[in-house]
Structure 1
Amino acid sequence: MSIGTAHAERGGRCEDRCSSQIYDQAGATWVALFVSDGAGSAECGEQGADIAVRTANETISQLMELAELPLDESLALQIVNDIRLAISQAADQNQLPARAYACTFLGALTSTKGTLVLQIGDGGIVLEGQHGLMLAIEPMNGTYANETVFITQPNAIEKLAVRLYPTGVTALALFSDGLQRLALDMAKGEPHGPFFEPIFRKMQGLTDASRPQIGAALESFLGSSRINDRTDDDKSLAIAVLRV
């Protein structure tokens, strides 16, 4: 996660939030990835993104107590509904409308048993599978620049996109819209291979000794001039790679 240069110049803070957590469910290892981008036009967008990611992890943690995980649309709906409730409660406590906490939300839950991805808003989810890289869900961009869908909107559930991949996913990446133009070929609606392939290969080659260094390396990459010369927005990138 890295603050955008436009935000830094205004003395602002990074309004993205992302997380990568490992969970155990009846002996099976799961990785949960979440990315949320607080709307710059919203009074509490940063707080909304924070609530979204934190609540999603709380929901997954509780579900891990079940004998069997429901890897389907019902799981995605529970995550989103829990987030919307948490944001509504925060808004009520601060006497603000829910839209003051507007944010996008992207999530993925993956293991050798399957992969579930969900998305409301822009940003992207890229998978690597048997047929190479693929864009799981098309970013939800509006008619105008910087227009998208937020999890706080009344019709957010209708806009929710969910995909299930029972097998074959070896790597995945979730990213906020600050990376869209670098990570995707927008004309073709496809992932940009030269962006993802080196990162996935680097992740697959990690050892127990080098693994703790990857977070700082990714943060340095996202804050580099190579990236900032092409985008001035906040940037978040969450990655999971299956070690073979």
Structure 2
Amino acid sequence: MRWKITGSSVTGRSHADRGESGQDCHRAGCIRRGDNEYFIGIVADGAGSTTHGGEGAELACGCMYDRITDTLRKTGDLSCITDGEIREWIGASRSAIAAEAVAKEKRLKDYACTLLGVVAGQGHTLFFQIGDGAIVVSADGGEYETIFWPEQGEYANMTFFATDDQFSDHLGIRHFSSAPAEIALFTDGVQNLALSFAQKKAHAGFFRPLFDALREHPEGGFLDFSRNLSGFLTRDDVSARSDDDKTLVLAVLVQD
């Protein structure tokens, strides 16, 4: 078994109209250990109210991805990774952001960002999330499950961040004893398109065509499909429903 993956982060119309850069970021890839191939997907969204949220998101994604790959190269067994180790990964990312803030004479909260991640192998999958956005999976391409519902604060457009002092209080962690056939990670710019908040369910009609297209795409087509995904996320009808930055990472498990 192996993974086919793609991902895209696009600047929302609200930022583009003001000449601002997007504040979303993602890292996605695969590493192989023996006969097992692992999918790693990380997504982060810089807080719109901050001055350096996009930089915080980029630092968080990069540090998390590096810590996860280092751990997998040492252990090669996802089932041995504890919740405490996941908290240490996030703590290391937070430290990297804090060091950047000190170097630039900024505050840590100036780099505030959400953080979502998946690490999946054939025998185990772990998920973690702080803040809004969501992770959606399917075991067989049928029913779609939201791993954590987007966590929002007391007021509209308020959420929680990996840079918060009490980040661990809002950290969700789950383990599966197998790998889902389909995995999606996305920021809050996508969640109103992909989720029904009234029913607290994922829209199968949103995900199924995307996963089918990825599964059927020819080998070596990661970049081509990413361009197609970027085009989809910036379409006028999509932007009309959400003018925020949008990040979407997709992975499907396929037979060799």
Shorter-normalised TM range: over 0.9
Amino acid corresponding to residue 201 of structure 2 in structure 1: E
Give per-residue Cα distances to partners, 1:196-238, cap 9 Å, x unaligned: 0111111111221544411101011001112101011000001
User: C-alpha distance in 1, partners of 2:232/2:15?
Assistant: 18
Matched, 1:38 2:46: yes
User: C-alpha distance in 1, partners of 2:193/2:168?
Assistant: 29
- Structure 2-normalised TM-score? 0.91
Matched, 1:182 2:187: no
Per the alignment, residue 13 of structure 2 pairs with: 5
| 1:101 shift after superposition | 0.6
Give per-residue Cα distances to partners, 1:38-68, cap 9 Å, x unaligned: 0111121111001000101110121122133
In structure 1, runs of 5+ residues without a counterpart are: none
Which segment is superposed worse, 110-119 or 5-14?
110-119
| 1:89 shift after superposition | 1.0
Matches within 5 A, 1:109-128: 109-128=119-138
Secondary structure (helix, strand or coil) at the match of 1:118 reads strand
Give per-residue Cα distances to partners, 1:79-125, cap 9 Å, x unaligned: 21111111111111122221111000000001212211100000010
Which segment is superposed worse, 8-17 or 21-30?
21-30
Q: 1:207 to 1:87 in 2, by over 3 A?
A: same
User: C-alpha distance in 2, partners of 1:98/1:201?
Assistant: 41
In structure 2, runs of 5+ residues without a counterpart are: 1-8
Matches within 5 A, 1:176-215: 176-208=187-219, 210-215=221-226
User: C-alpha distance in 2, partners of 1:210/1:56?
Assistant: 26
Ranked by relative contact order (alpha carbons within 8 Å, sequence separation 6 or more), the top structure is 2
User: C-alpha distance in 1, partners of 2:178/2:89?
Assistant: 22
Per the alignment, residue 91 of structure 2 pairs with: 81
Per the alignment, residue 150 of structure 1 pairs with: 161
Q: Once superposed, what is the RMSD of the aligned Cα atoms?
A: 1.4
- Structure 1-normalised TM-score? 0.95
User: C-alpha distance in 1, partners of 2:224/2:237?
Assistant: 20
How many residues matched? Answer: 244
User: C-alpha distance in 1, partners of 2:220/2:33?
Assistant: 26
Counterpart selection for 1:92 from 94, 98, 102 = 102
Q: 1:9 to 1:68 in 2, by over 3 A?
A: same
